[in-house]
Amino acid sequence: MKILVTGAAGYIGSHFVKKALDRYPTVKICAVDDLREGHNQAVPDSERVTFHNLAMDNEAALDPVLAREKPVAVVHFAANAYVGESQEKPFKYFDNNVTGSLILFKLLAKYGVNKVIFSSSCTTYGNPQYVPIDENHPQNPINVYGTTKLMIEKALHGLHLASGWSYVSLRYFNAAGADDEGAIGESHDPETHLIPLVLQAALGRREAISIYGNDYDTEDGTCIRDYVHVYDLAEAHCLALDKLLSLKEGESTFDAINLGTSKGASVEEVIKTCEKVSGRSIKRKVTERRAGDPAKLVADYTRAKEILGWEPKYDLERIIETAWAWESSRQY
Ligand SMILES: NC(=O)c1ccc[n+]([C@@H]2O[C@H](COP(=O)([O-])OP(=O)(O)OC[C@H]3O[C@@H](n4cnc5c(N)ncnc54)[C@H](O)[C@@H]3O)[C@@H](O)[C@H]2O)c1
């Protein structure tokens, strides 16, 4: 059996591929990524992985790949994922995240691939009306990136209604951490995620870590986010995939599921934990609040537990330990 993985050379996609190879000893992976953001070295070197350096919307090139490899499902990570950039270059995001996904789906339909695990995001909720956020929270994204994720959730639902597609939209909160063996990890350029930025400051690669506002209505005044380990995310994808692959002929299903830990950590708490793990002191620079940053974003993951039997296993300290091991000796 073969699974198509788009964005397989990216941060979360590569961890999923590594996890899936362990978890499913006979499954093969058809990995697609044009390396616009990802890294060749992140894709595990295995005879069960065929890597295709091409864009998901390159119909002419992808068509023969699907015809030959006959995947039974897709785990769809490929996207542009910078919130700030999406506000500056909205069409880059609509073109890639929306049009690109729709072109891919059209090709999947041609080959009867109608089972999709989709990388959605807590940004689809917009400003929280309550926390922890459950899946019934209204989806009112406040930026283009979140809008593109919501558009694909809706497109998948349309395909479910019209053509019996089965999908699970996994709404991640803040992905963090790295491979326990230190072989792969997070490497974005520019990096915008807090934990790698703090650890880079610990290593002297950055002078200080910026804290965007310390007057929020939280215990220490800094923003609270929900950090979930990349292998906990990978495990949830496997559980969702199991669910779709166990469907009988003619059955279809859909779901949207939050992936977070329900335990928020403030920026200050993250920095303190990074200081503890690295044994180094980290310089802070407090600046203005950023527009659109809510004080607290935390997931209610009850549904993931009920539907998938999923529980996050990594706490903040363990997340930071794996990120530190990676950041201090990263290969790419
Ligand atoms: N990192 C997070 O905290 C987070 C949170 C919520 C949702 N997500 C979503 O999870 C997914 C993976 O995120 P990530 O952090 O691993 O990002 P990433 O940038 O590391 O990985 C995305 C990968 O997709 C590839 N890609 C992009 N467009 C492509 C295209 N048209 N054709 C082929 N390959 C293409 C890139 O080269 C990259 O390797 C994205 O869809 C993102 O929106 C991430």
Tens of pLDDT along 95-107?
999 999 999 999 9
Whole-angstrom distance, CA of residue 236 vs CA of residue 251: 21
By percentage, how much of the chain surpasses pLDDT 70? 100
Residue 291 has a pLDDT of 84
Looking at the chain, the whole-number percentage of residues with pLDDT higher than 90 is 98
Any catalytic annotation for residue 11?
Answer: no
Q: How confident is residue 3, by pLDDT bands cut at 50, 70 and 90?
A: very high
Q: Which of 145, 167, 227, 231 is catalytic?
A: 145
Q: Is any ligand 1 atom within 6 A of the Cβ of residue 117?
A: no
Confidence at residue 282, expressed as pLDDT on a 0 to 100 scale: 96
The yes-or-no verdict on residue 180 having pLDDT over 90 is yes
Question: For residue 186, which atom of ligand 1 is closest to its CA?
Answer: 20
- Three-state DSSP class for residue 101: helix
pLDDT of 162 over the 90 cut: yes
Residue nearest to atom 35 of ligand 1 (CA): 78
pTM: 0.97
Give 74 Cα–ligand 1 centroid separation in angstroms: 14
Direct distance between the N- and C-terminal alpha carbons of the chain, in angstroms, rounded to an integer = 31
- Cα 26 to Cα 280: distance, rounded to the nearest angstrom: 44
- Taking the centre of ligand 1 as the mean of its atom positions, its distance from the CA of residue 122, in whole angstroms, is 15
Q: Per mean pLDDT, which range of 25-39, 161-175, 286-300 is the poorest?
A: 286-300
Instruction: Tell me the three state secondary structure of residue 225.
Output: strand
Residue 258 — pLDDT band, cuts 50, 70, 90?
very high
Mean pLDDT of 174-201: 95
Query: Token pair of 31, please?
Result: 């990995």
CATH topology classification for 194-225+261-328: UDP-galactose 4-epimerase; domain 1 (3.90.25)
The 3-state secondary structure of 17-62 reads HHHHHHHCCCCEEEEECCCCCCCHHHCCCCCCEEEECCCCCCHHHH
pLDDT at 292 over 90: no
Task: Tell me what the mean pLDDT of segment 313-317 comes to.
Answer: 98
- The CATH number of 2-176+227-259 is 3.40.50.720
Which tokens go with 63? Answer: 């068509």
In this model, does residue 199 exceed pLDDT 90?
yes
List where CATH 3.90.25.10 sits in the chain. Answer: 194-225+261-328
CA of 33 to the centre of ligand 1 (A): 10
Best CA proximity match to 110, nearest among 65, 148, 151: 65
Q: Is the CB–ligand 1 distance for residue 146 below 6 Å?
A: no
Locate CATH 3.40.50.720 in the chain: 2-176+227-259
Using the predicted structure, report yes or no on whether residue 2 has a pLDDT greater than 90: yes
